[in-house]
């Protein structure tokens, strides 16, 4: 009798998953050629028509598989995933990050195992099984595979949703990635925080490093940084003191870049700092922006504020007004899954979909698993992967038939 490990190694869906993981669609300078060919072959095996479009440039393809519904005039569903993965530091990995090695506990190690090639493959596996059972959705279902989510989506979903091809898809709802859960629950993400990259330019008195000049860029920077860090500490305490909160429920603020100075004995006339700020949906973004502006004035002026990136919050209704949410929730309940509705702590392609008025949810069927996206030794257990296929077998019909 075969052991579970032997069964997993011989499972066709596991083999397809491993093949996908072995394609190094890794930043920087991703080459999507092999990935597109792999997805075309998968579309052929599913007997689904496939298109490849290039909203920005030939090197940034979007792959679209179409599963025609019984009522094609209805709004459609998209099952979205991104093809790209973040960089790796191979020396920090137990196994080659693009080998998709399965260890003796059934853990499949690879960059993208959680984020998010697993989800893209699980969509296809669920569709394969549903089609084999004779099921046809009421609504047309699209499987979309987009580039460059990991670098912000500007060359992927951000432009795709603006084009004629997407408009012709008549999309009513999108399902995209979530995050692994380390307990038995499954988080469902209905929104993302307001996202800023804020650049502050501190102008001040320059001169010789041996003198105590007044009104220097460094003094201004110290004043504002101290105010920023004190605000940050309020959010740290808020998260620590309320167990019902997750990182997506508070405002995060981090100094991510600092530039300035030309020589060690010259006081610089300019220092530049960039902060990554993710504003909670409960936080007044305008009030926070005014507070930062006030701190700059208190520091002595001469400080320029520049929002390099400013993405306002958008959210999907998770109530009786949203039939897709009702269908999705019904599927989760019928499976007996414990779920938590959350605000996503980072950013995903769902932002761009919601921004054009289409409801979107983030969900990855991964629980009781360490959260390892973007980390060394990213892995997903084979049994968790296969269970996720069964989850999507339930959720796709409850969405497509809603």
Just list the catalytic residues.
Answer: 84, 149
The answer to whether 84 and 30 have CB atoms below 8 angstroms apart is yes
The answer to whether 309 and 197 have CB atoms below 8 angstroms apart is yes
């Amino acid at each position: 009798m075969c052991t579970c490990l032997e069964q997993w190694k011989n499972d066709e869906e596991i083999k397809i998953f491993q093949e996908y993981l072995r394609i190094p669609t890794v930043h920087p300078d991703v080459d999507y050629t092999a990935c597109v060919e792999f997805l075309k072959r998968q579309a052929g095996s599913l007997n689904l028509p496939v298109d490849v479009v290039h909203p920005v440039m030939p090197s940034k393809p979007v792959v679209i598989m179409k599963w025609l519904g019984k009522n094609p005039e209805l709004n459609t569903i998209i099952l979205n995933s991104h093809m790209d993965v973040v960089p790796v530091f191979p020396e920090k990995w137990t196994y080659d990050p693009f080998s998709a090695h399965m260890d003796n506990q059934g853990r499949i190690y690879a960059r993208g195992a959680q984020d998010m090639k697993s989800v893209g493959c699980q969509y296809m596996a669920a569709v394969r099984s549903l089609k084999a059972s004779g099921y046809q959705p009421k609504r047309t279902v699209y499987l979309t595979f987009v580039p460059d989510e990991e670098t912000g989506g500007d060359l992927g979903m951000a432009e795709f949703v603006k084009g004629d091809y997407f408009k012709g898809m008549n999309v009513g709802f999108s399902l995209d990635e979530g995050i692994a859960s380390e307990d038995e629950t499954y988080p469902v993400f209905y929104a993302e925080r307001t996202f800023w990259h804020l650049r502050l330019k501190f102008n001040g008195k320059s001169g010789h490093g041996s003198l105590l000049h007044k009104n220097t860029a460094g003094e201004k920077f110290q004043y504002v940084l101290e105010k920023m860090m004190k605000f940050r500490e309020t959010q740290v305490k808020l998260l620590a003191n309320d167990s019902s909160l997750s990182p997506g429920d508070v405002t995060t603020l981090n100094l991510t870049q600092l530039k300035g100075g030309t020589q060690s004995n010259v006081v610089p006339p300019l220092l530049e700092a960039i902060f990554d700020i993710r504003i909670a949906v409960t936080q007044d973004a305008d009030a926070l922006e005014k507070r930062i502006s006030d701190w700059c004035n208190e520091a002595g002026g001469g400080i320029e504020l520049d929002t390099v990136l400013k993405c306002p919050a958008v959210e999907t209704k998770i109530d009786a007004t949203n039939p897709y949410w009702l269908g999705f929730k019904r599927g989760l309940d019928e499976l007996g899954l414990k779920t938590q509705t959350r605000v996503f702590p980072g950013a995903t392609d769902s932002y761009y979909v919601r921004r054009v008025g289409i409801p979107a949810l983030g969900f990855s069927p991964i629980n009781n698993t360490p959260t390892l996206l973007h980390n060394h030794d990213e892995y997903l257990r084979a049994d968790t992967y296969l269970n996720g296929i069964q989850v999507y077998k339930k959720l796709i019909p409850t969405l497509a038939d809603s």
